[in-house]
């Protein structure tokens, strides 16, 4: 197989065309064997023409220049002249453009080669396309009924003429350029079949009509036509017909990408597929390849690594928006060399390489990241192509837990900044939503501590090597009393009848935000030996939340949190704790920054145990606060729920009424405030801390009858500290438990 030549244009009259930058990264296995092109000469100069990013040759080339379209720049079609290589906008987005002409929405035709301007006749104002020096319009008689006869007209500044030979019943007309001598009129017939008719531009006659599949590409040369067919299995092939004969060949295109583009140059068939921005199949081939029609059994020759549009020029060549690894993205002129072989000349660059690259600085976490109010971490790389698979792997150094995010192409649904001159922003926002690297669907909020990350960006079009980046950062946030795995989310402990203790958490953003459920974690068995287990927050000096547990002999034990969702071995605190009916931890009542413990004895006296931060002696000598607390059947430490600096205490009486005691910060409380009734239905109330991550502490409540957990959102208000309209959660849903903390 003869190789395809790739050269660089050296003259100042370079064709100024640019390829639309789709995004792509890292090399994948090439889907089909192809011969390699001849390397670009090292001494060749870079193209003179330089176009903005994300522009594409979007119409057939004319004798004096061509049009380009900025896909992401709004109404920004521009004209580039061959002679000076300059690009100028053409004003409002034209209705049609191609060759040297464009038609605006007022029916005015502008010739960019000469500067001439003329109006289409009022009775023929519906332009349907441009081919060569002509603007075509379609006129349907009896158009109000939708069943009239349609005629096709060609217009120049000198006047109009009727195109003869259009089949009766043709409708839905559009006209495209075919070659320098031929136009193509696309239409449907009475039964809805798609047809392609060849228009002899000099004679003004439709000379040939081909019925082709409704969705396939169509190409024409002075000697052949070709189109794409897809069989029941999805395999695509090109049908090539020699004009004026019965000769018909088929060319197997292999695993070519969706909606392939076709072109005919001499005795060669060219095919390539436009890479999609999102969800592209990397097993498909998107390169521009050439098949020698004299030997269709030979392997195709690669012409370009990327192709986005193929347009005829004013002669018998092509203008292709595409890219070649090592040369760059931009406009290539494709024609035949002196030996009759396809040759691609790089005539205009858009400043982007064909292989995956960053166009502007990335947004990634670095240093120490404070996540006290949010779990959002952005990983954004501004890449040059949209058809890129971006894989981010994030590893928590202390635990070895790894998270993984895969994005198959640029998805604009995220609403990113539309200024794509800096590249396509790709990568995840981390809100505990990474899928675990082992393939499980469990979700976790970010752990505190050091992280490393690696990013790999691979081209889904297989264009060039993968782009790799790596880095590190550290996450920190204020410790939370119900955060046992050190990831900032609330963990609720529950014990079942067999004595197994489990932890469950979920991620919620605001009262009305969606909830992401996390799987339960089994902490361990044997907890049936305790009649009370209480989450206390960090009372023993480590960075993690702790537990106390009272056994049936009245001995109190300390379990220090290990930050992995579990606890270290127990340490005995002391005996005699059977004297207390109620025990509650989790609020800092003394203002020293450590959570304290309160306990009501059987005579109704409330005692304060100030925490020390020591693992061997976690509490100071108890201090009497007051009496009369025998009226309550549950105490709940909530932290600050009413706007003051100190921690507060809730107490539920035997009628199910919930009361709040506002902490003064010196180990005492103000007079009680009634919150509301109806709380007797709940088997356990838990001061969770900030469950919904709105900056205010909340209350969890487990309803035994329904086996469901609800939360009451904190308001931070003095007399109405909670929204009393409860919200359901997934925490320990439908389980049977006899203890919560």
Q: What is the predicted pLDDT for the residue at 518?
A: 76
Cα dihedral angle (44, 48, 49, 51), rounded to 10 degrees? 80
Residue 415 has pLDDT above 50, yes or no: no
Share of the chain above pLDDT 90, in %: 56
Contact 536, 595 (CB under 8 A): yes
Q: What is the predicted pLDDT for the residue at 521?
A: 86
DSSP label at 296?
T
All residues at 6 or more sequence positions from 259 whose CB lies less than 8 Å from its CB, including other chains: 215, 217, 273, 274
Q: How far is CA 681 from CA 438, 618, 708, in A?
A: 41, 34, 12
The length of the chain in residues reads: 741
Give the containing element (helix H, strand E) for 130: strand 127-131
Q: What is the predicted pLDDT for the residue at 372?
A: 74
525 HSE (CA, 13 A, CB side):
2
Question: Which range has the worst mean pLDDT, 145-149, 252-256, 394-398, 701-705?
Answer: 145-149
Residue 32 has pLDDT above 50, yes or no: no
Q: What does the pLDDT look like over 328-368, one tens digit per residue?
A: 998 899 999 888 899 899 988 888 999 999 998 999 999 99
Contact 684, 664 (CB under 8 A): no
Residue 499 has pLDDT above 80, yes or no: yes
Contact 473, 368 (CB under 8 A): yes
Instruction: Provide the b/e sequence for 118-140 (b: ≥16 CB within 10 Å).
Output: eebeeebebbbbbbbbbbbbbbb
**Which of 239-248, 309-318, 392-401, 475-484 holds the top average pLDDT?**
239-248
Q: How far is CA 459 from CA 139, 317, 386, 471, in A?
A: 46, 29, 9, 22
Nearest to 685 by CA among 709, 662, 661, 663: 709
Tokens of 153: 């007209």
The single residue listed with the structure tokens 């604009």 is 412
Average pLDDT, the chain: 85
Question: Which range has the worst mean pLDDT, 129-138, 404-413, 489-498?
Answer: 404-413
Distance CA 290, CA 584 (A): 78
Tokens of 192: 């809805």
Contact 97, 59 (CB under 8 A): yes
Cα dihedral angle (509, 396, 403, 426), rounded to 10 degrees? 80
pLDDT band at 715 (very low <50, low <70, confident <90, very high): very high
Contact 255, 283 (CB under 8 A): yes
Question: Which range has the worst mean pLDDT, 331-335, 482-486, 649-653?
Answer: 482-486
Distance CA 704, CA 735 (A): 10
Tokens of 136: 């075509």
Estimate the share of the chain in helix, then strand, then coil, as percent rounded to the nearest 5. 5, 50, 50
pLDDT band at 41 (very low <50, low <70, confident <90, very high): very low
Q: What is the predicted pLDDT for the residue at 7?
A: 40
Higher pLDDT, 67 or 214: 67
Question: Which range has the worst mean pLDDT, 75-79, 334-338, 571-575?
Answer: 75-79
Q: Three-state secondary structure along 366-414?
A: CCEEECCCCCCEECEEEECCEEEEEEEEEEECCCCCEEEEEEEECCHHH
Q: Three-state secondary structure along 26-68?
A: ECCCCCCCCECCCCCCCCCCCCCEECCCCEEECCCECCCEEEE
Distance CA 713, CA 721 (A): 9
All residues at 6 or more sequence positions from 629 whose CB lies less than 8 Å from its CB, including other chains: 582, 600, 604, 605, 606, 635, 651
Q: What is the predicted pLDDT for the residue at 25?
A: 27
Q: What does the pLDDT look like over 652-679, one tens digit per residue?
A: 999 999 999 999 999 999 999 999 999 9
Q: What is the predicted pLDDT for the residue at 431?
A: 64
DSSP label at 663?
B
Tokens of 709: 């957990």
Distance CA 690, CA 698 (A): 5
Count Cβ atoms below 10 Å from residue 402 Cβ, excluding itself: 14
**Which of 311-325, 337-351, 452-466 holds the top average pLDDT?**
452-466
Count Cβ atoms below 10 Å from residue 182 Cβ, excluding itself: 23
Cα dihedral angle (216, 217, 219, 225), rounded to 10 degrees? -10
Residue 144 has pLDDT above 60, yes or no: no
Helices (H) and strands (E) in the chain, counts: 0, 63
Per DSSP bridges, beta strands 342-349 and 49-50 are: parallel
Q: What does the pLDDT look like over 543-554, one tens digit per residue?
A: 788 999 999 999
Residue 90 has pLDDT above 90, yes or no: no
Distance CA 262, CA 215 (A): 13
Q: What is the predicted pLDDT for the residue at 3?
A: 36
Contact 345, 398 (CB under 8 A): no
Distance CA 647, CA 391 (A): 44
Maximum alpha-carbon separation in the chain: 112
Residue 185 has pLDDT above 70, yes or no: yes
Per DSSP bridges, beta strands 556-559 and 571-574 are: antiparallel
């Amino acid at each position: 197989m003869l190789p395809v030549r790739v050269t660089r244009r050296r003259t100042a009259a370079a064709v100024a065309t640019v390829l639309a930058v789709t995004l792509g990264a890292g090399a994948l296995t090439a889907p089909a064997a192809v011969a390699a092109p001849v390397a670009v000469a090292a001494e060749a100069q870079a193209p003179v023409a330089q176009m903005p990013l994300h522009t594409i040759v979007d119409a057939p080339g004319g004798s004096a220049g061509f049009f380009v379209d900025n896909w992401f720049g709004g109404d920004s079609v521009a004209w580039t002249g061959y002679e000076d290589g300059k690009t100028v906008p053409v004003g409002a987005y034209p209705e049609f453009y191609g060759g040297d002409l464009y038609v605006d929405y007022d029916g005015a035709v502008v010739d960019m080669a000469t500067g001439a301007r003329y109006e289409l006749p009022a009775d023929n104002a519906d332009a349907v396309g441009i081919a060569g020096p002509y603007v075509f319009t379609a006129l349907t008689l009896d158009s109000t009924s939708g069943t009239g006869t349609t005629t096709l007209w060609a217009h120049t500044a000198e006047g109009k003429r009727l195109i003869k030979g259009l089949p009766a019943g043709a409708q839905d007309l559009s006209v495209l350029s075919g070659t320098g001598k031929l136009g193509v009129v696309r239409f449907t017939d009475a039964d809805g079949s798609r047809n392609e008719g060849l228009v002899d531009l000099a004679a003004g006659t439709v000379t040939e009509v081909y019925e082709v599949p409704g969705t396939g590409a169509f190409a024409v040369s002075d000697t052949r036509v070709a189109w794409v067919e897809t069989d029941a299995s999805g395999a695509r092939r090109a049908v090539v017909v020699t004009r004026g004969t019965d000769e018909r060949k088929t060319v197997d295109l292999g695993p070519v990408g969706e909606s392939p583009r076709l072109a005919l140059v001499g005795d060669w068939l060219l095919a390539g597929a436009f890479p999609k921005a999102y969800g592209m199949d990397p097993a498909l081939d998107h390169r521009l390849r050439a098949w020698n029609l004299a030997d269709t059994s030979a392997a195709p020759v690669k012409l370009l690594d990327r192709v986005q549009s193929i347009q005829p020029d004013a002669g018998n060549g092509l203008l292709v928006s595409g890219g070649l690894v090592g040369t760059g993205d931009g406009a290539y002129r494709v024609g035949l060399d002196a030996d009759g072989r396809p040759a691609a000349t790089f005539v205009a660059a858009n400043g982007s390489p064909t292989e995956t690259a960053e166009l502007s600085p990335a947004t990634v976490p670095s240093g120490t990241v404070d996540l006290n109010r949010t779990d959002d971490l952005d990983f954004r790389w501004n890449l040059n192509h949209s058809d890129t698979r971006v894989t981010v792997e994030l590893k928590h150094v202390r635990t070895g837990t790894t998270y993984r995010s895969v994005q198959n192409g640029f998805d604009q649904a995220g609403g990113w900044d539309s200024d794509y001159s800096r590249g396509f922003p790709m990568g995840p926002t981390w809100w505990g939503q990474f899928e675990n690297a082992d393939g499980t669907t469990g979700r976790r909020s970010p752990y505190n501590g050091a992280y490393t990350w690696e990013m790999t960006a691979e081209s889904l079009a297989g264009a060039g090597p993968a782009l790799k980046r790596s880095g590190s950062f550290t996450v920190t946030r204020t410790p939370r009393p119900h955060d046992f795995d050190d990831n900032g989310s609330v963990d609720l402990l529950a014990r079942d009848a067999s004595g197994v203790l489990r932890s469950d958490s979920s991620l919620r953003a605001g009262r009305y935000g969606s909830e992401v459920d996390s799987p339960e974690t089994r902490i361990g068995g044997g907890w049936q030996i305790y009649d009370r287990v209480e989450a206390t927050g960090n009372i023993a000096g480590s960075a993690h939340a702790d537990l106390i547990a009272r056994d049936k002999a009245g001995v109190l034990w300390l379990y220090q949190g290990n930050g992995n969702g579990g606890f270290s071995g127990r340490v005995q605190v002391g005996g005699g704790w059977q004297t207390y009916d109620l025990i509650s931890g989790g609020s800092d009542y003394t203002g020293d920054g450590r959570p304290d413990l309160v306990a009501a004895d059987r005579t109704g006296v409330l005692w304060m145990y100030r925490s020390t931060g020591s693992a061997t002696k976690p509490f100071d000598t108890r201090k009497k606060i007051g009496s009369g607390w025998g009226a309550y059947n549950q105490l709940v430490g909530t932290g600050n729920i009413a706007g003051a600096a100190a921690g507060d205490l809730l107490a539920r009486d035997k009628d199910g009424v919930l009361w709040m005691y506002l902490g003064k910060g010196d180990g005492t409380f103000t007079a009680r405030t009634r919150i509301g009734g109806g709380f007797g239905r709940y088997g356990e109330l838990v001061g969770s801390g900030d469950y919904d991550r709105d900056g205010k502490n909340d209350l969890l409540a487990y309803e035994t009858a329904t086996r469901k957990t609800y939360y009451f959102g904190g308001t931070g208000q003095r007399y109405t500290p909670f929204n009393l309209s409860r919200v359901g959660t997934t925490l320990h849903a439908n389980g049977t438990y006899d203890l919560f903390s």
